[in-house]
Amino acid sequence: MNIQPTPFDHPDAVKLNDAVQLEYAARYDDEGDVTPLDSAMFVPPHGLYLLAYDDQGHPVATGGWRTQNTNDAGYADGDAELKRMYVIPEARGLGLARRILTALESDARAAGRTRMVLETGVAQPEAISLYTSSGYEPCVKFGHYRDYPTSRCFAKPLA
């Protein structure tokens, strides 16, 4: 597998983003994640977006982080927020999500971020398992879905 930085608006990233949106919609019986995102949020050193490609050059996994600081949505200074972690069904179980997560944490740390935060939901037990097994702990809810009962927020110090 080849994991490489890729713009959030690259056609392969858009393809996987569309796929994860369909999965969110199916799991939560809604329109998917409507958190406002744009490609500028993932431009280093204020963020990073990664794509993993298989040996045939097909995009199979994705994930990114973006800078957050204290604001009325519940973030704190020094936060790096994980977004759009996704592995296509055919590539699950290969450790790609963990590899992308580790790379994103390392990059955010190098950019001076002090805490990685993420929001997921109760209909994503695989994600919750990945994050808790990677040292993430439940935290005060933040972000677009902080008032949703199905939302779960996690954080991990990057120091």
CATH architecture of the domain 2-115 equals: 3-Layer(aba) Sandwich (3.40)
Over range 138-158, report the average pLDDT.
95
What is the per-residue pLDDT across 27-56, written as a single tens digit (0 to 9) for each? 998 887 888 899 999 999 999 999 999 999
Confidence of residue 159 (pLDDT cuts 50, 70, 90): confident
The pLDDT of residue 38? 94
Termini Cα distance of the chain: 28
Residue-by-residue DSSP string for 20-38: HHHHHHHHHTSS-------
Q: How many Å apart are CA 116 and CA 102, to the nearest integer?
A: 11
Q: How many CB atoms within 10 Å of residue 154?
A: 20
Question: For the chain, what is the mean pLDDT?
Answer: 96
Among 23-32, 96-105, 121-130, 143-152, the least confident range: 23-32
Q: How many Å apart are CA 136 and CA 58, to the nearest integer?
A: 30
For 50, 71, 115, the CA distances from 76, given in Å and listed in that order, are: 24, 7, 9
The pLDDT of residue 134? 98
Name every residue whose Cβ is closer than 8 Å to that of residue 5 and which is 6 or more positions away in sequence. 44, 48, 49, 50
Confidence of residue 151 (pLDDT cuts 50, 70, 90): very high
User: Quick check: helix, strand or coil at residue 101?
Assistant: helix
Confidence of residue 72 (pLDDT cuts 50, 70, 90): very high
Tokens of 21: 């949106």
How far is C-alpha 95 from the chain's CA centre?
Answer: 15
Asked if residue 89 has pLDDT above 80, the reply is yes
Query: In the chain, what are the domain boundaries?
Result: 2-115
Tokens of 70: 């204290």
